């Protein structure tokens, strides 16, 4: 087969999509048939719409492929799913309106993306959290403000990621550890510091991963073994020494993976069989 072209992600939607965010090569065989080769699979042109729909691939990706293989846009209009997205993006406001209550949340989300201000307002009350998450991701800070107390933790977590520091600050005491963990990822140093002794192990472990050396040091003797285990991979050999005798087998097992050869030998006769097994495995790798 002959390589015809390679397309690359250019839009925000494409870059955020696991399928479209990688280069895609388009080939043509001796019979003139086109094949699309993605990072994950290669498929013939006739499966383009079904496969892309199954992955919720953006319409912009389809249009790029159409341009390369000279597929008329009328062919897109024959796809039940992509014909709706095409009409919403390129049609009139009146045409867009009829999709505002479509049963497919992806279609309604596209109405929000390309519709009028009035249509966007109607979708702010959508019952599907996936639509509301999409609004938070693609909307304005003023629109995000309407979802600060949304019942869905995924919507509030999306605000943490896409909103302002002020909005994150107001969510810092959110009831969900998942939301607070997102603040530990996307928030400021000061916001992480406020969460440094959070009651949730999930939040403290996230601070270990995304915080500063100073913040990790504050958690180095955390009461939860999972937090201490998370710290291990961030420490120098000399800092690992106390953890060789940690009361937790999980922590000692983690030490085996990140310590020096000399330190590992101190765990060769550990009381826990799994720790001893890990020592044996790592010793064989030398």
Say which residue the tokens 């992480």 belong to. 192
| 285 Cβ neighbours under 8 A, 6+ residues apart | none
State residue 255's pLDDT score: 97
Measured distance CA(118)–CA(188) in Å, rounded: 35
Secondary structure string (H, E, C) spanning 182-229:
HHHHHCCHHHHHHCCCCCCHHHHHHHHHHCCHHHHHHCCCCCCHHHHH
pLDDT at 67: 94
Sheet (strand 34-37) strand order: 2-7, 24-28, 34-37, 42-44
DSSP one-letter string for 125-140: T-S-HHHHHHHHHHS-
- Residue 179 predicted with pLDDT over 70: yes
Please give the sequence-ordered ranges of beta strands (E in DSSP) within the chain, or none if there are none: 2-7, 24-28, 34-37, 42-44
pLDDT given at position 286 = 66
- pLDDT for res 149: 96
Better-predicted residue by pLDDT, 37 or 13: 37
pLDDT 10s digits, 233-285: 999 999 999 999 999 999 999 999 999 999 999 999 999 999 999 999 999 88
Q: Is the pLDDT of residue 18 over 80?
A: no
Mean pLDDT value across residues 48-76:
92
pTM: 0.86
Q: What average pLDDT does this structure show over 39-56?
A: 92
Residue 11's pLDDT is 79
**Distance between CA atoms of 58 and 191, rounded to whole angstroms?**
35
pLDDT per residue as tens digits for the range 68-104: 999 999 999 899 999 999 999 999 999 999 999 999 9
Mean pLDDT, rounded, of the chain: 94
**For 260, which DSSP code?**
-
The pLDDT value given to residue 15? 77
Say what percent of the chain tops pLDDT 90. 90
At 191-240, the pLDDT tens digits run: 999 999 999 999 999 999 999 999 999 999 999 999 999 999 999 999 99
List, for residues 101-134, the tens digit of each pLDDT value. Answer: 999 999 999 999 999 999 999 999 999 999 999 9
């Amino acid at each position: 087969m002959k390589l015809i072209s390679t397309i690359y992600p250019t839009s925000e939607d494409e870059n955020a999509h696991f399928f479209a965010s990688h280069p895609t090569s388009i080939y043509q065989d001796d019979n003139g048939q086109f094949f699309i080769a993605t990072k994950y699979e290669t498929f013939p042109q006739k499966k383009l719409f079904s496969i892309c729909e199954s992955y919720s691939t953006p319409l912009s990706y389809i249009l790029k492929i159409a341009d390369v293989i000279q597929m008329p846009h009328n062919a897109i209009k024959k796809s039940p799913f992509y014909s709706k997205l095409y009409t919403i993006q390129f049609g009139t406001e009146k045409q867009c309106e009829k999709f505002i209550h479509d049963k497919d949340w992806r279609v309604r989300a596209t109405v929000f993306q390309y519709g009028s201000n009035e249509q966007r307002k109607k979708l702010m009350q959508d019952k599907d959290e996936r639509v509301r998450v999409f609004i938070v991701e693609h909307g304005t800070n003023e629109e995000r403000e309407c979802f600060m107390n949304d019942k869905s933790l995924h919507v509030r977590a999306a605000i943490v990621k896409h909103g302002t520091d002020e909005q994150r600050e107001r969510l810092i005491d959110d009831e969900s550890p998942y939301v607070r963990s997102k603040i530990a990822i996307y928030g400021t140093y000061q916001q992480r510091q406020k969460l440094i002794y959070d009651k949730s192990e999930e939040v403290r472990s996230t601070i270990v991963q995304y915080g500063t050396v100073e913040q990790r040091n504050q958690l180095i003797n955390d009461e939860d073994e999972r937090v201490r285990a998370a710290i291990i991979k961030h420490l120098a050999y000399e800092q690992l020494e106390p953890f060789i005798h940690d009361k937790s087998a999980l922590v000692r097992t983690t030490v085996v993976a990140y310590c020096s050869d000399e330190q590992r030998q101190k765990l060769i006769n550990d009381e826990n069989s799994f720790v001893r097994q890990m020592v044996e495995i790592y010793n064989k790798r030398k």
